Structure 1
Amino acid sequence: MTTRTLPMTEPATGLPDRITIYEVGPRDGLQNEKSVVPVEVKAEFVRRLVDAGLQTIELTSFVPAAWVPQLGDAEELLDLLGPVAAGQARPVLVPNERGLDRALDKGVKAIAVFGSATETFARKNLNRSVAESLAMFEPVVRGALDAGAWVRGYVSMCFGDPWEGPVPVEQVVDVCARLMDLGCDQLSIGDTIGVGTPGHVSRLLEALEGAGIGADQVGVHFHDTYGQALSNTMTALAHGVRVVDASTGGLGGCPYAKSATGNLATEDLVWALDGLGIEHGADLDALVETSVWMAQQLGRPSPSRVVKALAGA
């Protein structure tokens, strides 16, 4: 009889008892697919994630289909999924006031805006400067808060930019502070191209703390281009961060940054958390089954090491 492999639980000092997994697979994971995933498959993906115990799932983006055709079915997806259950969060990304209006019309109660720490990526992603992007976000954040919605502010390229190279920590902190000053409830710092390392993570979190943005307001979003996403996450947890972005199966990337490969795989994160005795609410077996299923829909194996190990994928 074969016994399923499990990590031995050995808690470490200085880490939280529980964290929130902010699942980005349906949005960040699927936005970079070359083909458009059918909306029925997306809805089933979300339902499986809910059944796996994930409480916070970013569903889609209310961007024009001409910008990101993979997410051009936002309204239809929300219609298929129906009302959000109590205690669960279903954020959506919105780029501007028009996107916010579309989201609010569908009863969305949590939204996110997506800024950049660098001028080049701000231009490529939103066709605006950093300052112009923040000016565009101001009425979006205000409108969302006035409507009683929760607001997250993403800042991308926090650790490096494929066009500008290393990004000064002070520059990142300035953009983060300006975004949070708009009234966002939470900040997500993104390593969009996966070049960050633990020391860099520590330095940025300490600088944010010095600017009045505490770890309790911060989520981390690491891509695994150079295999650093999990170690960077553990460093962030040691600094007091309690929200970690992850993508089931390691799906994801960025359509405007070709060097950005997949996100931290939710299964890889859960394996590490289980070994540390940190609660998260997710069922690893169900996540692995979901990733295997989604890999079949996409026609390629999951890049998650844990999925490969437990499912032979």
Structure 2
Amino acid sequence: MPSPEPGELPAAVTIWEVGPRDGLQNEQAVVPVEVKLEFLRRLADAGLRIVETTSFVRPEWVPQLADAAEVLAGLDRRDGVRYPVLVPNSRGLDRALDAGVADVAVFAAATESFTRRNLNRGLDEQFAMFEPVVRRATDEGLAVRGYLSMVFGDPWEGPVPVEQVVAAGRRLLEMGCGQLSLGDTIGVATPGQVEAVLRAFTAAGVPVASLAVHFHDTYGQALANTWTALRHGVSAVDSSAGGLGGCPYAKSATGNLATEDLVWMLDGLGVEHGVDLAALAATSAWMAEQLGRPSPSRVVKALTGA
């Protein structure tokens, strides 16, 4: 693939920081509320303007996030910073509204197998569950994001047909989600697959401005996949400070794309992002200390030795 001209890349990228939610949800030892609140404060101080905070999932499903209401109650909300919350169902939306949340997200899948394990529902049934949630959230004036997981591969079904992915993604957008995040949940995607999926969405009439990408680095392809998405015009990228994360329902999933690694690449490309890399790396090094293990981010290691 030839090197792009600068005009082929977006002038700026919106980083959707998922560390406090997706990054911590798979931690076995429960992280204290005060540590989570300090993490959120430091991320905002580093310049991140979207920080996904928690999820109103049932505590027995994800014990790490059982303190969602307490975290939101103690949150030092900053002007200009959005704090989205994942809501799995109508009850989750009720709790989000009670907490004064302005941004919510729903989490769907492109495959039958993962939907059964994650939601105990079929591929089509999940949309019947999400549709009233999305409709009521938009009626209440909330911004709604749709996550679509297992876009590039499923641990039980293998490669996922592109047309199946596009059909599922369009259903989320058509029910009212303002943005669709395409998730490589188990980290198996390669740049060629990313290009194929994005081209298919464009061919189906989905504007690239409504798409975001969410890559895991299981096979070391997250940055290459992000580069491919940027060249296709995607300007919203999910990442996790320090590369934290996994998926409690997909054991082969490893960490998310590290926000520091993403920022280092964006700096090299001349793409604006608004993040103070040194402050962010220091934040991830601090969180690594709280978790008792080194950060998997190569940029964090290079800048801080953590």
Residue equivalent to 1:31: 25
Residue equivalent to 2:115: 122
Residue equivalent to 1:108: 101
User: In the aligned structure 2, how far is the partner of 1:137 from the partner of 1:191?
Assistant: 21
**What is the deviation of 1:87?**
2.2
3-state secondary structure, aligned to 1:153:
strand
Runs of 5+ consecutive residues of structure 2 not aligned to the other structure: none
Amino acid at match of 1:183: G
**What is the deviation of 1:178?**
1.0
Residue equivalent to 2:36: 42
**What is the deviation of 1:130?**
1.3
3-state secondary structure, aligned to 1:162:
coil
The answer to whether structure 1 residue 272 and structure 2 residue 272 are counterparts is no
Q: In the alignment, which of 182, 191, 196 is matched to residue 198 of structure 1?
A: 191
Amino acid at match of 1:218: L
**What is the deviation of 1:86?**
3.1
Residue equivalent to 1:283: 276
The superposition leaves residues 184-227 of structure 1 with CA deviations (integer Å, 9 ceiling, x where unpaired) of: 00000000000001111011001011112111000100000000
Q: In the alignment, which of 173, 178, 181 is matched to residue 185 of structure 1?
A: 178
Residue equivalent to 2:88: 95
Equivalences for residues 234-313 of structure 1 within 5 A? 234-313=227-306
Residue equivalent to 1:79: 73
Residue equivalent to 1:232: 225
Amino acid at match of 1:40: E
Q: In the alignment, which of 152, 162, 165 is matched to residue 158 of structure 2?
A: 165
2:44 and 2:78 in contact (8 A); partners too = no
Residue equivalent to 1:147: 140
2:18 and 2:238 in contact (8 A); partners too = yes
3-state secondary structure, aligned to 1:235:
helix
Q: In the alignment, which of 47, 67, 70 is matched to residue 53 of structure 1?
A: 47
**What is the deviation of 1:85?**
3.0
**What is the deviation of 1:159?**
0.2
User: In the aligned structure 1, how far is the partner of 2:249 from the partner of 2:33?
Assistant: 23
Q: In the alignment, which of 128, 133, 138 is matched to residue 126 of structure 2?
A: 133
User: In the aligned structure 2, how far is the partner of 1:36 from the partner of 1:129?
Assistant: 31
Structure-2-length-normalised TM-score: 0.97
Number of residue equivalences: 303
User: In the aligned structure 2, how far is the partner of 1:179 from the partner of 1:120?
Assistant: 19
**What is the deviation of 1:13?**
4.4
Amino acid at match of 2:160: V
User: In the aligned structure 2, how far is the partner of 1:13 from the partner of 1:265?
Assistant: 25
1:288 and 1:307 in contact (8 A); partners too = yes
3-state secondary structure, aligned to 1:245:
strand
User: In the aligned structure 1, how far is the partner of 2:80 from the partner of 2:41?
Assistant: 15
Runs of 4+ in 1 over 2 A off after TM superposition: 10-13, 84-87
User: In the aligned structure 2, how far is the partner of 1:216 from the partner of 1:56?
Assistant: 17
User: In the aligned structure 1, how far is the partner of 2:131 from the partner of 2:40?
Assistant: 30
**What is the deviation of 1:11?**
7.9
User: In the aligned structure 2, how far is the partner of 1:300 from the partner of 1:24?
Assistant: 19
1:222 and 1:245 in contact (8 A); partners too = yes
Distance 1:297 1:11, change over 3 A: farther
User: In the aligned structure 2, how far is the partner of 1:92 from the partner of 1:161?
Assistant: 25
3-state secondary structure, aligned to 1:155:
strand
2:85 and 2:103 in contact (8 A); partners too = yes
1:11 and 1:276 in contact (8 A); partners too = no
RMSD: 1.1
Structure-1-length-normalised TM-score: 0.95
User: In the aligned structure 2, how far is the partner of 1:11 from the partner of 1:66?
Assistant: 50
User: In the aligned structure 2, how far is the partner of 1:86 from the partner of 1:37?
Assistant: 26
**Sequence identity percentage:** 68
1:23 and 1:56 in contact (8 A); partners too = yes
